[in-house]
Structure 1
Amino acid sequence: MAIANAQPTAPPGSKKTSRRRYRGIDQLGGLDRVVVILMVAIPTLLLVWLVWFPAVASVLLSFTNWDGVGDVSSAKFIGLKNYSDVVSIYPPFWPAVQHNLIWLVVLFFVATPLGIFFAVLLDREIRFSRVYQTAIYLPVVLSLALVGFIWQLIYSKDQGLINAVTGWTIDWYGDPKYNLWAALVATTWKHTGYVMLLYLAGLKGVDPTLREAAKVDGATERQTFFRVVFPVMAPINIIVLVITFIESLRAFDLVWVINKGRNGLELIATLVTSNVVGEASRIGFGSALATFMLIISTVLIAVYLRIVMREQR
């Protein structure tokens, strides 16, 4: 009788269990609610204050003529004049755009394939692979400013390694015929390790049965990678593509260390800095340049989010 009258227990996934779980969440104590609210509110406020507020302020200041002296209320509204001046009568702008495009092409067609190549080699678990992986990734943890100083030891006109070995007297950082390409070699050295790490993580997550099936079908290693493995890593490909675009756009540290973005090394980011914090401060004009960067970055991020959300659906 006791067995007959016993109430059946609800399985773990039943509605009764779910209701109890939600009741437990709803019955958080006062201290727990405060902790949850703070965990959400503090990062949100920091994001608004450190990212969105400066971005909106830059867009608003781009429509003004303000030299940074005095209160912001003294800024004079001039409409789109800063934007028209940037594209029409500001000589460094179009060379800077060209240099940013060259930066993008080199990172995409040189640094990215090198990163993929190293990732494929290290994925085979060759001897001393950990040592090689650390050596390739080490430049990533260094700032671009420090990378510039390191490569100065190689590019120096009087004491640099290249000139000492070859006997040349080229000023790699000072000559506008060479300084952009010298800077691109240095940034490629840094960017390759980052791409290598992303693709190495992606290769480790590929299902081994896919490679086995391709091998059974008679596919070579090259065919297996390009027709089976590489398409499977589509999320990694998108991430690398977006990161490469953003890195080419916000390239600043290395060029600023070399010559502050002058004499053949003009970039949009260095033009923004030189106009905002230079001797002749033009906050409104520099904000217009920064807005150009913001628009391009927003477009890239929107494309990335659309692709990711479409894949999730």
Structure 2
Amino acid sequence: MPVEASKAPPTKRKPRKLKRLSRRDVLVLSLMVGIPTLVELLLVWGPTLLSIALSFTRWNGLDLSDLKPAGVENYQFIAQDYPPFWPAVGHNLLWLLFLGVIGTPLGLLLAVLLDQKIKGSRIYQSIFFAPVMLSMALIGIIWQLFYNRDSGLLNFLLGTAGTPQAIDWFGDSNVNIWAAMVAATWRHAGYVMILYLAGLKGVDGTLREAAALDGANARQTFFRVVFPAMRPVNIIIVVITIIESLRAFDVVWVINQGKNGLELLSALVIQNLVGEGQVIGVGSALAVILLVISLVPIVWYLVRTFRKENNA
């Protein structure tokens, strides 16, 4: 029998030398990292830290000599003696509930329907996504035309346009918050639809096939297999819904600057920081309160994300 040739020992690969960066590379990298960092510091962290500092002061916003420390007086005033604050908190919670119960499920329903590969689904996606490309201020203007008391489309359809029975949808404090939330939902549903469409495309098709083999119908397959498989998308949408409800501002500001039943925390911040009778300390304290509330879902999302990566 032929004698097997002895195997040669594996050759050791020489470690690759790291290429030293040239001065040009260092300059380019410094600019690519430094400029965005500088912009972030100037436009985000700078104003944030300044707002936190000003929330503990009394100042009219004009004369620096009037800048005086106030401790936590601004926060005490907001909680105890500032009438619009608690209604604004209630309206933000109502906004969150409305988007969570109506806007987000509506976006999910649209995504499920358009995922069925129906004819013209691309056109429908573009139609439902179109409001997302518009600013909330423009959406407020569009819905003002729809809700107008004398010549609006809604009162025209109800047959009350130009009559004493016409509803002033944006002027009546009993209904304007609901009208504004419908306008916001028009945009929010399209955004959620696109996110869920992406999530549905990423679900492994074998999961549906396995559910069908087990005798599950379409409804059972979606709620017991597909929807749980989209857990990362679900978490993102929950966070987005919370943040959208907290930063709601443009629509109500276009309508009546956040007054007469449309008080929101974001509108109260601007009311106290801009215009006549501005109270910088109170406005800054409101901004800090809004920041702290907004950080809760963000921190929750980041903790879950990093914990998942560490366990992987």
CA 1:216–1:259 in structure 2 vs 1: closer, same or farther (change >3 Å)? Answer: same
Which structure has the highest helix share of the two?
A: 1
- For residue 82 of structure 1, the aligned residue among 60, 65, 74 is 74
Query: What is the aligned partner in structure 2 of residue 209 from structure 1?
Result: 206
Matches within 5 A, 1:107-256: 107-168=99-160, 169-256=166-253
Partners of 2:29 and 2:155 lie apart in 1 by 60
Partners of 2:124 and 2:180 lie apart in 1 by 24
Q: Deviations over 1:143-184 (max 9, x none)?
A: 111101111111000000111121231100000011000001
Query: What is the aligned partner in structure 1 of residue 3 from structure 2?
Result: none
Matched-pair contact (CA < 8 Å) for 2:60–2:66: no
Q: Deviations over 1:221-271 (max 9, x none)?
A: 111111111111111111101111111001000000000000000000000
Deviation at 1:186, TM superposition (A): 0.4
Q: 2:248 corresponds to which letter in structure 1? A: A
- For residue 87 of structure 2, the aligned residue among 95, 102, 120 is 95
SS in 1 for 2:18: helix
- TM-score, normalized by length of structure 2? 0.92
Q: Deviations over 1:107-152 (max 9, x none)?
A: 0110100000110111111011011100000000001111011111
Matched-pair contact (CA < 8 Å) for 2:58–2:66: no
Deviation at 1:76, TM superposition (A): 0.5
Stretches (4+) displaced over 6 A: 7-10
Query: What is the aligned partner in structure 1 of residue 307 from structure 2?
Result: 310
Deviation at 1:8, TM superposition (A): 9.9
Aligned length in residues: 299
Matched-pair contact (CA < 8 Å) for 2:57–2:69: yes
Deviation at 1:278, TM superposition (A): 2.4
Query: What is the aligned partner in structure 1 of residue 255 from structure 2?
Result: 258
Partners of 1:66 and 1:57 lie apart in 2 by 13
Query: What is the aligned partner in structure 2 of residue 4 from structure 1?
Result: none
Matched-pair contact (CA < 8 Å) for 2:56–2:71: yes
Q: Deviations over 1:81-110 (max 9, x none)?
A: 000000100000000000000000000110
Partners of 2:287 and 2:114 lie apart in 1 by 40
Query: What is the aligned partner in structure 2 of residue 3 from structure 1?
Result: none
Asked if residue 55 in structure 1 is aligned to residue 52 in structure 2, the reply is: no
Partners of 2:125 and 2:33 lie apart in 1 by 37
Deviation at 1:292, TM superposition (A): 0.3
Deviation at 1:15, TM superposition (A): 5.8
Partners of 1:42 and 1:181 lie apart in 2 by 43
Q: 2:170 corresponds to which letter in structure 1? A: Y
Question: What's the Cα RMSD here?
Answer: 1.7
Partners of 1:153 and 1:190 lie apart in 2 by 16
SS in 2 for 1:23: coil
CA 1:211–1:88 in structure 2 vs 1: closer, same or farther (change >3 Å)? Answer: same
